Amino acid sequence: MTAKPKPAKMPANPLWGGRFATGPAEIMARINVSIDVDRRLYAQDIAASRAHAAMLARQGILKPADAEAILGGLDRVLAEIESGNFVFKAELEDIHMNVEARLAELIGEPAGRLHTARSRNDQVATDFRLWIRDAIDALDPALKDLQLALLDRAEEHAATIMPGLTHLQPAQPVTFGHHLLAYVEMVGRDRGRFADCRTRLNECPLGAAALAGTSFPIDRDATATALGFDGPAANSLDAVSARDFAIEFLAASAIAGTHLSRLAEELILWVSDRWRFVTLSDAFTTGSSIMPQKRNPDAAELVRGKSGRLIGALHQLLIVIKGLPLAYAKDMQEDKPPVFDAADSLGLCVAATAGMIRDLRVNAAVMLEAAAGGFATATDLADWLVRVLGLPFRQAHHVTGQLVHIAEKRGVDLVGLSLEDMRAIEPRIDETVFSVLTAERSAASRTSFGGTAPQRVHEAVQAARRRFL
């Protein structure tokens, strides 16, 4: 009598466990799971699976009925996730396995055909590129809105005088509008870096499979086009192992974060009681649990602090990638946490900064008073000596330095010196010199392209609106 064949033993893992006799150790399962992080890729994962299934059907690799079932099932999975009714399972490790397992529950055997001619390696690389591309597309309007906030305030304060500083010491009078326009330029370059990153990442890894491509007659151009990529990645090894697109995103984020941090630091100084250049409302400040009088610029301080997270995220991924041989390694599972955190942090910081710029109230009289101090018009005096008396600039610099020394000893500013005081150092000085020694005249005289003169600020605002908005 012939013995009945024993039923096949269920694998240790329903999606990859055929090679394994037992399941992983508990600690192995814990370190291996990534669903709590990569569940954020669900929309991109399902979009890529839809494009892959449609291509397999067009190529005759999938039967039309199977493809139709898969596409309908994927729509149901997406609806479940977006409605909050999907149950993510840690034992299924990641978003790819969770989606595929649920698809199998919904449509049965055809779900197992979806993974034909692909690997989780090219799947995750594709999903991750799609996610970062979407993050850049969401971030650019926010950065553009920050520029708009800066431009509106710059135009409003094109003639508001404030001290321009070097080494945090009074240097020359500038306009507040001109100062804000500096950040418009920084944010513009940030947007350019993200745009460049988007261009370089826009190659489709799907079809590279595990690392060597596939023997199935797939159409990689079709899946690339369906997913909005410029084309398929040219090398299968590079396609699954490259993460420089994520590193570039983090580098652009870190640079943008440092720009926001510099502006935040200035806001913190400007709102302090020592400066009082601007005031922030209750909307962007907090109080103290013990000191009733306090109004703390916490929003600005948190923007300044979160720049450290952005810089740290870049370092984190560089360190993960630096020692990895080709092609894929599980270390790459650590690529997503810093990217997700950086995207969240930067988006929050950009929105908070735009809010503070729109919220702040400028104390123009305090700014003007500060701009008039610290001998900030000394360069204007030196320029007058060159322009009117024909002195070489080095000699004019020396004469001006002597006059500053006299004024400092007497406790007055340059405009407080008498004509006789000035002629004691340079006899040819006449009374017209006093016309260049006010902060307003100083700022108005800086009419070179890119300068701080109010007329130039108005022109620069309009030019920036055309360039960036």
Cis peptide before 327 (omega within 30 of 0): yes
Active site residues: 167, 288
What does the angle CA 8 – CA 12 – CA 15 come to, to the nearest 5 degrees?
90
Q: 59, 219 in Cβ contact below 8 A?
A: yes
* Residue type at position 39: R
List CB contacts of 290: < 8 A, sequence separation 6 or more: none
Q: Tokens 């055929």 sit at which residue?
A: 18
Write the DSSP string, 130-154. HHHHHHHHHHHHHHHHHHHHHHHHH
Structure tokens that stand for 82 in this block: 């977006």
Nearby residues of 407 by Cβ (< 8 Å), 6 or more positions away: 375, 413, 414, 416, 417
Distance (Å) of CA 209 to CA 34, 118, 238, 267: 20, 4, 11, 51
Radius of gyration of the chain (CA): 32
**150 token code pair:** 């800066």
Q: Which tokens is 453 given?
A: 């003169």
Residue 221 token pair: 């151009």
Q: Which two tokens stand for residue 354?
A: 């735009």
